[in-house]
Amino acid sequence: MSPDRSTGVERFRRIAPGPGGVASTLMRIETCSTVDADLVAAMARLIPQLSRSAPPPDSAALAAIVGSDACHLLVARDDDGSILGSMTLVVFPIPTGIRAWIEDVVVDDAARGRGVGEALNRHAIALAGSLGATTIDLTSRPSREAANRLYRRIGFEPRETNVYRYQGD
């Protein structure tokens, strides 16, 4: 991987065995700074793969995310520019320090197993660290077995905690 801090782009090459030999995947991870039709279309394709209940964000919702100082919408693109996956890294100050939280990690069904999730997470870890966060939290449903294996493999550890959710009217 080769980071380019000036543009928020990090390039990854993953070489892995595949059917018929060795496969190489070249992708780049970007922090979105603008909203265009390509991003809106990618979210319309990706979000239903992540959640059956949440509608995909429209361009206004994406603009609010991209425009937030706390949010960093990361996308993985292949060498032809197609969006393979995305995640949101939220970094915010609280009285006990700078916190980071990873949310809404999704890799397109067609791109799974190519290292996209790992590349997104490693980029998020580096970005959070550069912004002063010393810890990063995330949650993952137990049924997402591959994702949970990935998180543990790259250094995330389960925490002994209770997760609560208030869902208002």
- pLDDT tens per residue across span 26-66: 899 999 999 999 999 999 999 999 999 999 999 999 999 99
Of the candidates 84, 57, 82, which has an alpha carbon nearest to the alpha carbon of residue 71? 57
Residue of 169 and 8 predicted with greater confidence: 169
Domains of the chain by start residue, with CATH: 29-153 (3.40.630.30)
Question: pLDDT tens, 99-149?
Answer: 999 999 999 999 999 999 999 999 999 999 999 999 999 999 899 899 999
Handedness of CA 30, 35, 38, 41 (dihedral sign): positive
Residue of 9 and 105 predicted with greater confidence: 105
- Does the structure show a pLDDT above 50 at 17? no
User: What dihedral do alpha carbons 47, 48, 49, 50 form, nearest 10°?
Assistant: 60
pLDDT at 5: 38
- Does the structure show a pLDDT above 80 at 3? no
